[in-house]
Each structure stands twice: as structure tokens, then as C-alpha cells.
A = this chain, B = another copy of it.
Amino acid sequence: MLAKKYLRECKGFIDQAIPEFLPEKDGYPQSIHESMHYSLFAGGKRLRPSLLIASAEAVGGNRNRVLPFAVAVEFLHTYTLIHDDLPALDNDSLRRGKPTNHKVYGEAIAILAGDALLTQAFVLMTDPLLMEVIPHKNILRASHEIAKAMSSTGVIGGQVVDLESEGQQVDASTLEYIHIYKTGFFFKACVRIGAILSGASSSQLGTLSRYGAHIGLAFQIIDDILDITGEQQQLGKDVGSDIDKSKATYPALFGLEESKKKAESLVDEALGCLENFDERADPLREIARFFVQRTF
């Protein structure tokens, strides 16, 4: 399957690059750098940087040029995971089958490692050397978009509503808010900035935005489903943990079948958005299909 091959290839590309964009693991002060490396190499699938790269390539861009941004979005994703897992938030002790950051390094270092990854993402995205290969306007625009997507009216806002909904009766519109803000905005931003950095036209950007929004929501719905049906070793966290915490999920509100159908129809819509793109958008098409077929 093309998507798996493409994602495997992107993962290798990103994995190899990450250490170049980070202080060394034993750099002083050692505890925080070890902790940052630990969570970055704790089994991430690199879906967000892969989407960014696939989107860049879909509009004729080059993966080497967008690499610092691709690494930066993985830093941002990892920071959200470290902070979400903290005792004051989701209080998770396992992530992808490994002890969470604060279980290994303590809460103080986990908080600071999250802060440091968030900060490091902007170190990469604002590097003046990037101006040699990407127009400065596009660099600023892309950095601004991802910052807004991660803000209190984006991903963080979604996380707040998610936390405050625990144990509450949640209606469909609140659930959609959580999913769109906590997950969808980030996926959409990855797709958009890959395209922005590669000089996409505004019409290309418009359709890619819709593609990104659709697959972002589909991804989260499937995540909810896998949390119920998935195998523990494949998901690396306690199956049913969202139900234990009475978290708002699609299957809880609409049932498994209806949720699966919703995810599939979102992916169909996403594929429809790519109609006017040539074969360079095939990875984007395959990733969309993979999002509903995945079992982990």
C-alpha cells in the first residue's frame, strides 16, 4: 500500500533529521535534553510532518526545503502529548506502550521539556537561514498559521474544553468543537503550511485547507473508535481509557457504525477536494484512505 510506504519513508527522513535540530541528548543541562529526546523517540508515527511534506510535494515543493518546519510540527505534537499526559491533565502513565515523560523524568522536567519543545519549534521556524530557500513572506505566514493553530483559540482551547467536559453530558456540538480544535486545526495547519512554504496558489490552498480539515476530523473519529476496539499492544495505551474517564467520543454519542460511516464520508470529501491535483497529490490521497483503514 502506497500510503504505508510513503509514511515509512517520511518517518525515516524525519527520524534522521530530528537530532540535527535539537541540542544533544547529553547537552547541559542533561535531564531536560534526555527528556526531550525520550519523548521524541518514543514511537511517534510522524503523521503531521509527513502530511506537511506530502502537501508540499503535491504543489511541486521540495521536502528538503520544508524539513525544518516538518521537524517543528513534530516538536509541537510531542509537547502537547507530554503536557496532556501530566497528572493535572489526563494523568496517563503509558503512551505508545512506554512510560510517559513525567513517569520517567518527574513532573517538573516534563513540564519544562514540553515548554522547551514548543520553544524549539519556533527556533527552527524563524531561523534566518531558511530565507535562503523560502521567500520570507511565506516563512512568516507559515509560522503565524501554526502558532495560531496551537493557541488558546486552537489546539489549547480544544484541550481545555475536553478537560472541562470530563464526566459531563456532552452534546454533539461540544464534541465537534473538541475534535476540530484539539486535532483538526493542527492537521489542517500542517497541510496548509506545507503548501504555503512551497508557493501554492490561493485556490490550491483553499482546497488543501478543506482536505486538511476533513482528514483531521476523520483521524480523531477513528482514534475514538480504536480506543474502544483496538488491541492494547497496538495502541500502546489502556484500551477503553477514554470511556473510563467518561470522555466525550464519537462512538459514545453516535455508536460505532455511525462513527465509522462519518469518518469514511469525511475521507471521501477530502479526496474530492484533490480532484484538480495531479499524481503528485497521490500521497495525500493515500494518507487520507489510510486514516480510516488504520488499526493503530
Contacts and interface: CB of A to CB of B under 8 A. Distances in A.
Contact of A153 (B27, B143, B163): B27
Contacts of A115: 79, 83, 114-115, 118, 156
A136 B111 CA distance: 33
A106 interface: yes
Interface in A107-137: 107-109, 111-116, 118-120, 122-123, 125-128, 130-131, 136-137
Interface size class of A (residues with CB under 8 A): 35 or more
For this chain, the copies found in one complex come to: 2
A119 B147 contact: yes
A287 B127 CA distance: 31
Given A27-B153, A128-B137, A147 B160 contact: no
Question: Which DSSP category, helix, strand, loop or mixed, fits chain A's interface?
Answer: helix
A36 interface: yes
Interface in A48-95: 79, 83, 86, 88-89
Given A118-B118, A140-B136, A161 B112 contact: no
A108 B89 contact: yes
A251 to B, nearest CB: 24
B140 A137 contact: no
Contacts of A272: none
Given A120-B151, A123-B151, 20 more contacts: A32-B152, A32-B160, A79-B115, A83-B115, A88-B106, A88-B108, A109-B160, A112-B160, A116-B152, A119-B152, A120-B152, A123-B148, A125-B126, A126-B143, A127-B140, A128-B140, A131-B136, A131-B140, A136-B140, A139-B140
Q: Which 10 A-B pairs have the closest CB atoms?
A: A88-B107, A116-B152, A136-B136, A126-B144, A126-B143, A29-B160, A122-B147, A123-B147, A88-B108, A32-B160
